[in-house]
Amino acid sequence: MGFPEGFLWGGATAANQCEGGYDEAGRGLANVDVMPHGPERLRVAAGLRKMLSFESGFHYPAKVAIDMYHRYRHDIALFGEMGFKTYRLSIAWTRIFPNGDEEEPNEEGLAFYEKLFVECHRHGIEPLVTITHFDCPIHLIRKYGGWRSRQLIDFYKRLVSVLFERYRGLVRYWLTFNEINMILQLPFMGAGLVFDESENKLEAEARSIHNELVASAWATRIAHEVDSKNLVGCMIAAGSYYPYSCHPEDVRAAQVESQANYFFTDVQARGSYPAFAVKRLERDGIDVGMTDEDHQILAENTADFVSFSYYASRCAAGPDSDAMRIPGDFFGEVRNPYLKRSEWGWAIDPLGLRITLNDLYDRYQKPLFIVENGLGAKDRIEADGSILDDYRIDYLRQHIQAMRDAIDQDGVDLMGYTTWAPIDLISASTGEMSKRYGFIYVDRDDDGEGTLARSRKKSFEWYKRVIATNGEDLS
């Protein structure tokens, strides 16, 4: 009973949210670099405001982030101290191919990650590598229009071939695209898309999605060819949709929303477009540019495991429902009246994690991996310098308990759990530092002030004990 032996406990970060060093060692500029802190950020991320370079009057937190580019040894040592079995991180595409379309990679970028992976292994930590975590080289956006263009499939194939060859023996767990379904909410972040007034937005999105799905299948194939030990996962922002009530219109609304999300993993884990998606494209008159080769590549190269982030469940209601709607909410626009919410308004629903695990396992029957889960909260430093983040411990405890129930009582096959994020870093949605997730505090504020010094929060010792007891001791 309990967590299986070899369960992969750890934490997850993304290059653009922690590395900094945005122009060092030949690195090129990416979409994620030019996303400012503040209210404009979401408009840029959604492709509604074009920002392809640094503009005056904005603070760009990714430039320095938490400076992990220079401090990774120290940070990985802290992860080692907590007993991490795995560390999920992402490669910055522009460190390897600064423009994205070069023939040859940038050796300095490759060497950086090699040193980082060696460091992980020195601490007994298995790297879990996201190939793209919301990043796309600016040059590929300017010249090709981002993932709209099929040419990006080739550039991505070149990128992954270099990574798999170079890190053979150092990395065996790979994720192709972070939260691939977030392209629907954040098309600039997800696919480097900025829309023209005259453009058919739906078609540009559908083509970009298709190109990413095909690229993902190619990556899976190349990974297996280079080393049969490689395991490649797909990754979505998950959280099951609940109908607001048992009114059939609400139930149908939840089903439609779920399908829009599952669509991605359906293709990546099953190998073909589900019927509802084919019909939807037909209805909308959209041609994604599927070739015979695409069909075959998708069918023959499904993901080895299904990974996902879980922060909250979502709720859906039919058009005539009196449900309270929250425009622009990330996790569905309907407020679930039964759930408490975080300081940032994200619903807190540990049982929803068990439900989501069951939904995904029922649907795919593939091993699952929770690669993000955590609570963004403001931390207070006590007079003696300590940070007593019991709220974070409570949140994680309840979610870990829920996943233990899913394993023990429902038989879900779960490979591991990486919290978002083991160390404070900049928020993807807001660019803030004050939305903190870490077991490790970083002295930096929303305006980029602070020493960047690291310190352990109360949750640090707690998570260390959880890992040491393989999830037995959650007290």
Say whether 179 is catalytic. Answer: no
Q: Tell me which stretch binds ligand BG6 (CB under 6 A): 51-59, 347-355, 360-368, 420-428.
A: 420-428
Beta strands 340-341 and 86-90 are: unpaired
Residue 105 has a CB neighbour count (10 Å cut-off) of 19
Nearer to ligand BG6, 243 or 431 (CB): 431
Task: Verify binding: residue 347, ligand BG6, rule CB under 6 A.
Answer: no
Q: Is 428 in the site for ligand BG6 (CB under 6 A)?
A: yes
Q: Is residue 237 at the binding interface for ligand BG6, with CB under 6 A as the rule? A: yes
DSSP for 448-470, written as a single string: S-S---EEE-HHHHHHHHHHHTT
Q: Distance between terminal CA atoms of the chain?
A: 18
Tell me whether residue 98 or residue 431 sits nearer to ligand BG6 (CB atom). Answer: 431
- Closest C-alpha among 176, 208, 181 to residue 192: 208
* String of contacts with ligand BG6 for each residue 12-51, x by CB under 6 A: --x--x----------------------------------
Instruction: Tell me the window of 42-50, 73-81, 405-413, 423-431 that interacts with ligand BG6 (CB under 6 A).
Output: 423-431
The residues pairing with 90 across neighbouring beta strands, listed in sequence order, are 130
Task: Please say whether the beta carbons of 170 and 127 come within 8 A.
Answer: yes
Contact 387, 441 (CB under 8 A): yes
Question: H or E element: which one contains 235?
Answer: strand 231-238
CA dihedral 191, 197, 201, 203 (to 10 degrees): -100
Identify the residue among 429, 434, 455, 469 touching ligand BG6 (CB under 6 A).
Answer: 429
Sign of the Cα torsion 210, 428, 403, 127 reads positive
Could you say which residues in the range 370-399 bind ligand BG6, by CB under 6 A?
Answer: 372, 376
Residue of 94, 240, 309, 373 that binds ligand BG6 (CB under 6 A) = 309
Preceding amide of 421 cis, omega within 30: yes
Whose CB is nearest to ligand BG6? 429
Query: Rule CB under 6 A: is residue 420 a binding residue for ligand BG6?
Result: yes
CB 457 within 8 A of CB 440: yes
Which range, of 94-102, 264-272, 314-322, 428-436, touches ligand BG6 by CB under 6 A?
428-436
Residue window 176-195: x/- pattern of binding to ligand BG6, with contact defined by CB under 6 A: --xx----------------
Q: How far is the CB of 13 from ligand BG6 (least distance, A)?
A: 8
Identify the residue among 435, 436, 444, 457 touching ligand BG6 (CB under 6 A).
Answer: 435
Active-site residue identified among 19, 126, 372, 432: 372
In angstroms, how far is CA 205 from the centroid of its own chain?
19
Q: Does 265 bind ligand BG6 (CB under 6 A)?
A: no
The binding site for ligand BG6 (CB under 6 A) comprises 14, 17, 178-179, 237, 309, 372, 376, 420, 427-429, 435
Q: Which residues are the active-site residues?
A: 372
